[in-house]
Amino acid sequence: MTQQIYGKSYEGTAAENYQRFFVPSIGAPVADDLIGVAGLQPGERVLDVACGTGVVTRRAADRVGADGRVAGLDVNPGMLAVARSQTPPDMSIEWYEARAEAMPIPDEAFDVVLCQMGLQFVADRHAALQEMRRVLVAGGRAILAVPGPTPQIFAIMRDALAGHIGPKAALFVDLVFSMHDVGELRELMRSAGFEKVDVQAKPKAFRLPAPADFLWQYIQSTPLAEAVNQADPARRHALEEDVCAQWQRFAVDGGLALQVNMTTATARK
């Protein structure tokens, strides 16, 4: 699939574009922080829930080494296909296509469960957290990261999507930033049975591509692609003009300066 957007072409599926665009600018820096907090040790068994294209999963495999075991689980086969294609042949990772709410994994199979920017998309968050706890050994640890509240750059995109494309497109942006409240996440984890729950929110700075590039890269990397690509060209043009005009105040050295609060939860079984 190739989308021509004002002279630039975006080839590939949303999953391929997620890996190509979203991971370098946002996914990888967040993964570096998550892996740092996780403190993985050689030989540990790690499950990455909602692994997407595997940016966290592969970092985990590097840390635990050949004596460890790493698995990635995601509901989207397109994301898993890219995850597999990005994994070096000498790196052993098991990939599960499944919902976080019902994992085809035996009890107490892992020492660590990771979940980066995934919980907010899961329909039944309580069930997913219970599943994460179930597959951990006693004393095993869970480390989750979720973004929000909606930063100004994304609020502008959301409002422009609502105006030019439709309310359903705007809802996707709301969902991305829907699970960040420290108290809510703490309670959710405790109610799933986790102990020693610690939840912290910290600002994280990102340097993004130039406004029009980032707008289209983000759209083509997410489920937004379908709705936006079907829209009338005049609407897409108006979307770009509207968003880029408002994003000018975040422009720095030709790129966009984004600051997002990341909420990180750590807990033990």
Ligand X SMILES: C[S@@+](CC[C@H](N)C(=O)[O-])C[C@H]1O[C@@H](n2cnc3c(N)ncnc32)[C@H](O)[C@@H]1O
Q: Is position 142 an interface residue for ligand X (rule: CB under 6 A)?
A: no
Kindly state the tokens that stand for 120: 């907010």
d(CA 199, CA 187): 10
Q: Fill in the amino acid letter for 247.
A: W
- Give, as one character, the DSSP assignment of residue 111: E
Q: Which of 14, 38, 55, 70 binds ligand X (CB under 6 A)?
A: 55
97 — phi, psi (to 5°)?
Answer: -95, 105
Burial of 205 (0-12, 13-18, 19+ CB in 10 A): exposed
CB-nearer residue toward ligand X: 164 or 266? 266
From the list 177, 176, 60, 188, the residue with the least C-alpha distance to 128 is 188
**Shortest CB 233 distance to ligand X, Å:** 28
Could you tell me how many residues of this chain bind ligand X (CB under 6 A)? 19
Q: Which of 14, 40, 45, 52 binds ligand X (CB under 6 A)?
A: 52
Q: Which residues pair with 199 in a beta bridge?
A: 265
**Shortest CB 126 distance to ligand X, Å:** 12
CB-nearer residue toward ligand X: 1 or 123? 123
Q: Is position 169 an interface residue for ligand X (rule: CB under 6 A)?
A: no
**Shortest CB 249 distance to ligand X, Å:** 26
CA terminus-to-terminus distance, the chain: 44
Q: Is position 50 an interface residue for ligand X (rule: CB under 6 A)?
A: yes
Q: Is position 121 an interface residue for ligand X (rule: CB under 6 A)?
A: yes
**Shortest CB 253 distance to ligand X, Å:** 26
CB-nearer residue toward ligand X: 21 or 250? 21
- Is there a cis peptide before residue 149, judged by omega within 30 degrees of 0? yes
Residue 19: Cβ within 10 Å count: 23
Q: Is position 27 an interface residue for ligand X (rule: CB under 6 A)?
A: yes
Q: Is position 148 an interface residue for ligand X (rule: CB under 6 A)?
A: no
Q: Is position 79 an interface residue for ligand X (rule: CB under 6 A)?
A: yes
Q: Which of 25, 63, 68, 76 binds ligand X (CB under 6 A)?
A: 76
Q: Is position 21 an interface residue for ligand X (rule: CB under 6 A)?
A: no
**Shortest CB 241 distance to ligand X, Å:** 27
**Shortest CB 52 distance to ligand X, Å:** 2
Residue 81: Cβ within 10 Å count: 16
The secondary structure element, H or E, covering residue 206 is: strand 195-208
* Unique residue bearing structure tokens 């829907």: 178
d(CA 221, CA 88): 23
Q: Do 215 and 156 meet the contact criterion of CB atoms below 8 Å apart?
A: no
Interface stretch with ligand X, choices 120-128, 149-157, 167-175, 232-240 (CB under 6 A): 120-128
**Shortest CB 100 distance to ligand X, Å:** 4
**Shortest CB 129 distance to ligand X, Å:** 12
Residues that bind ligand X (CB under 6 A): 27, 50-52, 55-56, 74-76, 79, 99-101, 116-118, 121-123
